[in-house]
Amino acid sequence: MNVLPEPMHSRMLAAGEAWLVWAAAHKVSPLDATCHELECAALDLRAHGGTEIDVLDLLDQVGFMTGLWRTAEWTHLRKTIDAFPARGPGPTSDEVSIKGGTLRTHGPAKCAADDFCPIHRPSPHPLATAPMAWRHDVALLERVCPHGVHHPDSDALEYARRTHGTDIGDRLAVHGCDGCCRKET
């Protein structure tokens, strides 16, 4: 007896099968996957014609099957996957290299003309050219100084303050600092 109504049951079976096929093809353990691997599978599914519902079913099925649904990273992925383009970067999206991979983000045309953007138009802060890293747990871009310390990107913090309030931006700014982000340019 199915606990789920038949249409949903069939969709979840299809999502589980798609995951097992993708995991086997990419030599990923289907039960010990990371959110990054799940994101890659979801983006591959979308790039090969999967619908938004197919992608969300995959995230849900694998999230519950692996326990990833308990993580902030999975929750962020689940909330933002529909913002990712279907077939890679285009006029409204961009991919940039960051420490540990690639970050899919908005395209240069989406940047507000009068605001700084940590990706396309960084302000002249001390770490503007430092390598970038993404904090999945708080959805924040960081800069990695030459000493290996991760500093919240100044422009990303300003954006957080503008969109989520000063209090949240100020909380995101707290980090183990070695002074590199405060040096004069």
pLDDT in tens, 7-49: 788 888 889 999 999 889 889 899 999 988 898 888 888 877 7
- Please tell me the predicted confidence (pLDDT) of residue 185: 43
- Please tell me the predicted confidence (pLDDT) of residue 154: 93
- Please tell me the predicted confidence (pLDDT) of residue 152: 94
| Pairwise CA distance, residues 84 & 77, whole Å | 10
**Residues 98, 118 contacting (CB under 8 angstroms):** no
- Spans of all domains in the chain: 6-83, 93-182
- Please tell me the predicted confidence (pLDDT) of residue 169: 85
**Residues of the chain predicted below pLDDT 50:** 85-91, 185
- Please tell me the predicted confidence (pLDDT) of residue 92: 52
* pTM reported for the whole predicted model: 0.51
Angstrom distances, CA of residue 128 to CA of 86, 100, 156, 168: 30, 18, 11, 22
| Pairwise CA distance, residues 165 & 155, whole Å | 14
- Please tell me the predicted confidence (pLDDT) of residue 127: 94
| Pairwise CA distance, residues 121 & 130, whole Å | 14
- Please tell me the predicted confidence (pLDDT) of residue 116: 87
- Please tell me the predicted confidence (pLDDT) of residue 146: 93
- Please tell me the predicted confidence (pLDDT) of residue 58: 92
| Pairwise CA distance, residues 4 & 130, whole Å | 49
